[in-house]
């Protein structure tokens, strides 16, 4: 019975994926659908992988990271921006850059002692040197200490 349950769960996970909501960016995004691969990432594009959910207490600082998945032939630099940041929360650096040789960039999130409490969706945007922007959402929860 346990084996059957485990196989069913694994099959469902493989069918539904890992919840990747990242919209691809880069010059290859605008290719006609006939040129896009059935599996994998489109040539000359990228996707940002951000923390799905992060919780902070007022007055707390956390170090997080964003990774990039680069499609074949995409080697450009990507500038990151954080949109819809709640009042009293600071991302540093405010616009980190993923250089062409990097797969990850680290940043800090600081919630001031008087940061607005609640759950917020911060949009993480990645803009390449040329081509379309990529975006992904990160849920940020601010609580009392």
For residues 15-27, average pLDDT: 53
44 confidence band (pLDDT: 50, 70, 90): confident
Distance CA 69, CA 46 (A): 5
For residues 77-83, average pLDDT: 97
pLDDT computed for residue 15 by the predictor: 34
- In which residue are the tokens 């074949």 written? 72
pLDDT per residue as tens digits for the range 103-132: 999 999 999 999 999 999 999 999 999 889
Per-residue DSSP letters for 4-68? Answer: HHHHHHHHHHHHHTT---PBPBBGGGGS-GGGS-SSSPPTT-EEEE--SEEEEETT-EEEEEEEE
Query: How many other CB atoms sit within 10 Å of the CB of residue 87?
Result: 10
Contact 58, 143 (CB under 8 A): yes
Distance CA 139, CA 137 (A): 7
- Is residue 8 pLDDT above 70, yes or no? no
- In which residue are the tokens 């990097």 written? 102
pLDDT averaged over the chain?
82
Query: How many other CB atoms sit within 10 Å of the CB of residue 9?
Result: 10
77 confidence band (pLDDT: 50, 70, 90): very high
Distance CA 145, CA 124 (A): 26
Could you give the domains of the chain?
21-143 (2.60.40.10)
């Amino acid at each position: 019975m346990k084996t059957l349950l485990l196989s069913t769960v694994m099959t469902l996970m493989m069918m539904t994926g890992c919840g990747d909501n990242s919209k691809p960016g880069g010059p290859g995004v605008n290719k006609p659908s006939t040129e896009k691969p059935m599996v994998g990432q489109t040539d000359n594009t990228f996707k940002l992988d951000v923390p799905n959910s992060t919780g902070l207490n007022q007055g707390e600082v956390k170090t997080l990271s964003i990774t990039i998945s680069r499609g074949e032939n995409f080697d450009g630099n990507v500038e990151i921006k954080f949109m819809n940041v709640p009042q009293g929360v600071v991302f540093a650096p405010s616009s980190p850059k993923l250089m062409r040789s990097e797969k990850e960039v680290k940043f800090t999130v600081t919630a001031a002692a008087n940061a607005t409490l609640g759950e917020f969706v911060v949009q993480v945007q990645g803009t390449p040197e040329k081509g379309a922007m990529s975006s992904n959402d990160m849920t940020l929860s601010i609580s009392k200490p």
